[in-house]
Amino acid sequence: MVKEEYFLLEGNPIWLPEIGLGIGCERGTYQGITQKWLYWYDENGQRLLTPEEKADAASRRAQILAEKLRELGIDPDRYFKKFRNLEEIYYV
pLDDT tens for each residue of 3-27: 888 877 777 899 999 999 999 999 9
Amino acid in position 66: A
Predicted pLDDT of residue 92: 40
Instruction: Please identify every stretch of the chain with a pLDDT value under 70, giving residue numbers as ranges.
Output: 1, 80-92
The answer to whether 37 touches 26, Cβ cutoff 8 Å, is yes
pLDDT of residue 42: 96
pLDDT of amino acid 10: 79
Residues with Cβ within 8 Å of residue 92, at least 6 apart in sequence: none
Give the pLDDT score at 88: 53
List helix spans (H) across 1-92. Answer: 51-71, 76-91
**For residues 20 and 73, what is the distance between their CA atoms, to the nearest angstrom?**
46
pLDDT for 89 equals 47
Half-sphere exposure of 78 (CA within 13 A, CB side): 5
